[in-house]
Chains A and B, each alone.
Chain A
Amino acid sequence: MTEMACGYAGDRDDAMIAYLYDDGDPAARAGFEAHLAACARCRTEVDALRGVRRQLARWAPPEVNFTVESLTSGVGSDEAATSHQSPATGHRAWWHEIPAWAQVAAALLVLGVSAGVANLDVRYDGNGLSVRTGWATPAPVAARAAQNSEAAAPWRAELTALEQRLRGEIRAVPASAPAPVDVSVPARAAQSSDADLLRRVRALLDESEKRQQRELALRVGEVLRDVNAARQADLRTIDRNVNDMQNRLGVEVLKQRENLNMLMRVSQRQ
């Protein structure tokens, strides 16, 4: 077969590769494109190389579940030698080891501890919502605690103000009992202020609940994402294994078929 002639003036191979990958000078590309319109040999070769690229696209490395922990552990094991801070201490390493239920429990615990720090005792019972403050303790201690915690969170200031008001009310009541103040018990002298207090506490609780719900939604989202990723990886592994098994089965079937064909031919000859 006679090879078609190509009269491209420049470096043909260079121009063809630049054209094929669209990586080069636009003017040179336009020039080669014009040449392609006239040169059947180059057109054929470009088409063939495009076909090669299409086939190359079918080659993917096997899926691997990377364990960052092991990689970073490897790095970390050399930490002593290099006296460099190890990335093995990264948040991902420990975060992913904590089960979802423990994460939710931790979120609830944080809420409970916050309430405890704020000296709040919240109860739901037959009498409805009952909020007890722990301010029956001696005043100086309570004052010190309030001072220490004031800077910690914005709601502390509000609680401190409440504390001051309650102290004033307690002093105003003649039979000032040493027991904690029960907000749910109506007191004639401070009915309106109790309602106000209850409203504020409810607002605080609502805010806490919302914060907790946001945290919970975040955790649930993370868990779902992890579960999904694990599921996808498992499905890919199963698919690969099934394909391998089918391949082996196919080979066996073919061998059997060839044996049968041979037996048929032998028996027909006889």
Chain B
Amino acid sequence: MTWTDEELVARSISGDANSFNELILRWERPIYALAYRTIGREEEARDVCQETFLRAFRALPGFRGQAKFSSWLYRIALNLCRDWIRRERRTPVVQPPEDVDLMELAAAAEPSESVEELVSRKDLARAVERAMAALPEEQRTAIVLKEYHGLTFQEIAELVGCPLSTVKTRLYQGLTVLRRELAKNPNAPKAPVFIRGNDRD
């Protein structure tokens, strides 16, 4: 039998140890993905993921179910990401290796086809990372929650605590900045590809 999140939460509160394990198994990947795309560092994203569940476990007896459990987890994770960004005071999204400028490499005058192919394989993902780094934190959060976690506008608004229209504005402005930044990447895909809507799947 598959329990809902809310049922597992209730069982965890009443002392069923396995139920909280089940919640971790269910949500660790989405939370890690959210943390990684927000702060852009693998190790730190793992730390945030672990800390999120730790805090959730501590606060579980006080969870009254006023929001969905997943929204509650997302809020904890986003707060931790925000704390991390403020503490580190540095550009939050992943940077390419310091000794290699892949954008310059891809735009080099006479690269052979094979080298270009090799480089372009990784180039687009890095270009997206760079473009995301150019976004203000609130726009990046809105895009990450919408694009990669499939949340509705309303859910995002409740999660980040702003009006629904603000969420749409942040998304529009964020996508517009990304469009401009990604246009600098010569290896942008021309053919349509499948759009993944939700990491939870």
Which residues of A come within 8 Å of B, CB atoms? 11, 13-14, 16-18, 20-21, 23-24, 48-49, 51-62, 64, 66, 68, 70-72, 74-75, 78, 82, 84-93, 243, 246-251, 253-254, 257-258, 261
B155 to A: closest C-beta gap in Å: 10
Provided the pairs A71-B53, A87-B12 are in contact, do residues A64 and B124 lie with their beta carbons within 8 angstroms?
A: no
Beyond A72-B21, A74-B54, whether A56 also contacts B32 by CB under 8 A is no
- Given A247-B118, A257-B110, A75–B20 Cβ distance below 8 Å? yes
Pull 13 A–B residue pairs with CB atoms less than 8 Å apart, ordered by A. A18-B153, A49-B176, A55-B127, A58-B128, A59-B37, A71-B24, A71-B28, A72-B20, A78-B54, A88-B17, A250-B115, A257-B115, A261-B110
Which residues of A are found within 8 Å of B178, using beta-carbon distances?
Answer: 52, 55-56
Q: Is the CB of B168 within 8 A of A55?
A: no
CB distance from B111 to the nearest CB of A (A): 6
The answer for the CA separation of A82 and B127 in the assembled complex, in Å, is 45
A251 and B105 contact, Cβ closer than 8 Å, known pairs A23-B152, A62-B36: yes
Tell whether, in the assembled complex, residue B192 and residue A90 are in contact, meaning their CB atoms are under 8 Å apart.
no
Do B24 and A61 touch (CB < 8 A)?
no
Q: What A residues does B127 contact at CB under 8 A?
A: 55
Q: A64-B42, A68-B21, A247-B118 are in contact. List 20 more A-B contacts (CB 8 A).
A: A17-B175, A52-B175, A55-B127, A56-B148, A57-B193, A59-B37, A61-B33, A61-B36, A68-B28, A71-B53, A74-B50, A75-B20, A75-B54, A84-B60, A87-B19, A92-B21, A246-B118, A254-B105, A257-B111, A257-B115
Residue B121 at the chain A interface, CB threshold 8 Å:
yes
Asked if B58 and A82 make an inter-chain contact with CB atoms under 8 angstroms apart, the answer reads: yes
On whether the beta carbons of A89 and B17 are closer than 8 Å, the reply is yes
Q: Are A14 and B165 in contact (CB under 8 A)?
A: yes
CA distance A203 to B17 in the complex (A): 40
Output the least CB separation between B176 and chain A (Å). 8
Contact, CB under 8 Å: A13 / B124: no
Q: How long is the Cα–Cα vector from A141 to B53 in the complex, in angstroms?
A: 55
**Complex CA distance for A61 and B29, rounded to whole angstroms:** 10
Chain A residues positioned under 8 Å from B24 (CB to CB) = 68, 71-72, 87
B82 at the interface (CB under 8 A from A): no
Interface of chain A: mostly helix, strand, loop or mixed = helix
Contacts A71-B28, A87-B24, A92-B21 given; does A17 touch B171 at CB 8 Å: yes
Contact A14 B118 (CB under 8 A): no
B189 contacts which chain A residues (CB < 8 A)?
A: 54-55, 58
Query: Are A17 and B33 touching (Cβ within 8 A)?
Result: no
Docked Cα-Cα span, A258 to B115, in Å, equals: 12
Give A61 to B129 CA distance when docked, in angstroms. Answer: 10
Asked whether A90 lies within 8 Å of B21 as measured between CB atoms, the reply is: yes
Q: Which residues of B contact A57 (CB under 8 A)?
A: 147, 193-196
Q: Is B169 an interface residue (CB 8 A)?
A: yes
Which residue of the partner chain B has the closest CB to A11? B165
CA distance A60 to B33 in the complex (A): 8
Q: Which of A51, A78, A87 contacts B20 (CB 8 A)?
A: A87
Contact B54 A254 (CB under 8 A): no
Provide the B51-67 mask, 1 if CB < 8 A to any CB of A, else 0. Answer: 00110011011000000
Contact of A90 with B168 in the complex, beta carbons under 8 Å: no
B200 within 8 A of A: no
A residues in contact with B128, CB < 8 Å: 55-56, 58-59
Q: Measured between alpha carbons, how far is A62 from B125 in the docked complex, in Å? A: 11
How far does the alpha carbon of A210 sit from the alpha carbon of B135 in the complex, in Å?
62
Complex Cα–Cα for A66 and B122 (A): 24
Complexed CA–CA distance, A223 and B125 (Å): 35
User: What are the 5 closest A-B residue pairs judged by CB atoms, nearest first?
Assistant: A90-B21, A87-B20, A61-B36, A250-B118, A59-B128
